[in-house]
Amino acid sequence: MANVAVIGAQWGDEGKGKVVDWLASRADVVVRFQGGHNAGHTLVVGNQVYKLSLLPSGVVNGKLGVIGNGVVIDPEALLGEIDRVRSQGLAVTPANLRIAENAALILPLHPALDRARETARGEHKIGTTGRGIGPAYEDKVARRAIRVADLAEPETLSHKLDELLLHYNTLLAGLGVETFEKQKLLDHLLALAPKILPFAEPLWLRMDELRRAGKRILFEGAQAVMLDVDHGTYPFVTSSNTVAATAASGSGLGPSAVGFVLGIAKAYTTRVGSGPFPTELHDATGQLLGDRGQEFGTVTGRRRRCGWFDAALVRQGVKVGGVHGLALTKLDVLDGLPELKICTGYRIEGALVRHLPAAPGAQAKAAPEYEVMEGWSASTRGARSWADLPAQAVKYVRRIEELVEAPVTLLSTSPEREDTILMKDPFEG
Ligand code: GDP
Ligand code: IMO
Ligand code: MG
């Protein structure tokens, strides 16, 4: 198993960016395969902080970065991000960034509909990032999306815009928001075309070549299993499949290419946006986790909801995500807490269940069953070896391994790249 796929095992923001950045030094290419600029991955390298949304985290390591066909690409957001990281001293050129020519685009009408629908939902809103992700994936499945390769064909753009606008302007007008003019959108796309097209190619060909040459491929997931459109807490999910199986279809490779699946989980739980969260804490401990963990959305700036580690949820994520090993992050945030709770299952109307059921009513009723563990007082922050960890912290990690039914193969003890403990190299399979 020479390749590695990194996916979130909870509700996102587990520290995938940090782990991918750290692993990228051992890889030849880093691939984004789903999601879009709803993702926010923070990388801390020395005194530089990189906040990436669409660019694969490998660009920070000077590795080839590729954006697969499974990603929805907002061309303006991509160019903005390229400019931002360039101003931080990184080179992003067609030599180190490639984009699948068959990826669907996000146009300005997508965030407009995303936001208008959220407003209309009122208190039932999903809490989306407002970046047009849902509408863009809807268009892809509905076979009316404009794709990267279409940018080279003004006539294709023109007739696709007619179909899109028929659909969007009807909806937008119905929701009482401003509609779009075809000529303006066409001019916008034609102006973006020469900036995007140099990065575009039939990516599946390159992926096949890389694979046959024995290059190490690192797949960088966005969002997480519990936000997966099939396996997550539907409808409070994102609009793509986030599980590791998508790494193959989202980059034009067969399923055997995926290799070792590394699930990333925080040592506690957070969530942005609406939806069920059985172990959420509304008390001082929840506040403390949020403050210490600096739990603010990278994309939205919204405060993340915080709670205890939910082993039932992560166990579910491990199974549906196909996780071989877990990377546990932010252990340091738990330093000094006198006791820690781990959710082992839920009580729903008197019955004990070990997974979150699919029906929203049952999810809302799921009351966590906790196991209580003693905390530790010594600091784990910045620990770089297993031997540096207090005995209770080791016990906590071991108990998590038992409950989620997966080994912890990597630990992260600060936002810094090098503050990482490797138990098993995922590239060794
Ligand atoms: P991603 O979306 O999964 O890539 O995660 P984000 O980057 O959105 O959020 C994770 C946050 O936690 C970032 O601010 C990271 O710098 C930070 N982080 C990652 N690992 C650790 C860790 O082990 N300890 C602490 N304290 N912070 C971490
Ligand atoms: P990373 O890759 C956390 C959440 C949104 C909302 C739901 C749907 O940084 O882990 P969308 O805009 O995708 O239609 O919103 O999904 N969400 C995320 N939460 N981390 C993310 O990405 C997320 N991307 C989307 O908050 O609840
Ligand atoms: Mg994030």
127: burial class by Cβ within 10 Å (0-12, 13-18, 19+)? middle
Report the candidate in 291, 313, 315, 316 with the shortest Cα–Cα distance to residue 304: 291
Beta strands per DSSP E along 267-398: 269-271, 305-307, 309-310, 325-329, 339-348, 351-353, 367-374
Would you say the CB of residue 12 lies under 6 angstroms from ligand 2?
A: yes
227 and 288 in one domain?
A: no
* 13 is a catalytic site residue: yes
The model's pTM is 0.97
Q: How far is the CA of 238 from the centre of ligand 2 (A)?
A: 6
The ligand with the least distance to the CA atom of 41 is 1
Number of domains comprising the chain: 3
CATH classification at residue 236: 3.40.440.10
Question: What share of the chain has pLDDT > 90, as a percent?
Answer: 97
Last residue of a domain, one of 260, 280, 302: 260
**Boundary (domain end) residue, out of 140, 175, 196:** 196
User: Are 130 and 114 found together in one domain?
Assistant: yes
Q: Within a 10 A sphere around the Cβ of 425, how many other Cβ atoms?
A: 13
**Given the residues 13, 74, 310, 332, the one annotated as active site:** 13
296: Cβ contacts below 8 Å, ≥ 6 apart: 302, 303, 304
pLDDT at 1: 53
Whether residue 21 has its Cβ less than 6 Å from ligand 2: no
pLDDT value of residue 405: 98
Q: Which protein residue has the closest C-alpha to ligand 2 atom 13?
A: 238
CATH number at residue 163: 1.10.300.10
Centroid of ligand 2 to alpha carbon of 38 (angstroms): 6
Q: 13 CB under 6 A from ligand 1?
A: yes
d(CA 305, CA 226): 15
Counting from 1 in the atom list of ligand 1, the atom nearest the Cα of 43 is 16
Does one domain contain both 323 and 412? yes
**Same domain flag for 283 and 403:** yes
* Range 32-53 average pLDDT: 95
Contact 314, 265 (CB under 8 A): yes
The mean pLDDT of 6-18, rounded to a whole number, is 97
Inter-CA distances, 278 with 82, 271, 292, Å: 39, 11, 21
Ligand 3 centroid to residue 396 C-alpha, Å: 25
Residues 255 and 277 in one domain: no
Q: pLDDT tens for residues 77-116?
A: 999 999 999 999 999 999 999 999 999 999 999 999 999 9
Residue 28 annotated as catalytic? no
Q: How far is the CA of 201 from the centre of ligand 2 (A)?
A: 28
Task: Please give the pLDDT value at position 301.
Answer: 82
Please tell me the residue having the least CA distance from ligand 2 atom 26. Answer: 273
Ligand nearest to the CA of 114: 2
Examine the domain organization and report whether 275 and 327 are in the same domain. Answer: yes
Does 131 contact ligand 2 (Cβ within 6 A)?
Answer: yes
9 alpha carbon, distance to own chain's centre: 10
Confidence band, pLDDT 50/70/90 cuts, at residue 297: confident
Identify whether residues 69 and 205 lie together within a single domain. Answer: yes
Torsion sign, CA atoms 167, 168, 173, 174: positive
* Structural domain of 114: 104-196
Q: Is the pLDDT of residue 292 over 70?
A: yes
Phi, psi of 127 (to 5 degrees): 80, 40
Query: How far is Cα 279 from Cα 368, in angstroms, rounded to an integer?
Result: 6
Cβ proximity of 257 and 246 under 8 Å: no
Q: Which two tokens stand for residue 341?
A: 């709770």
CA of 305 to the centre of ligand 3 (A): 13
Residues 236 and 213 in one domain: yes
Exactly one of 21, 28, 37, 41 is catalytic; which is it?
41
Ligand 2 within 6 A of CB of 273: yes
The tokens of 271 are what?
């969530």
The answer to whether residue 302 scores a pLDDT higher than 90 is: no
d(CA 66, CA 61): 13
Q: What is the pLDDT of residue 300?
A: 79
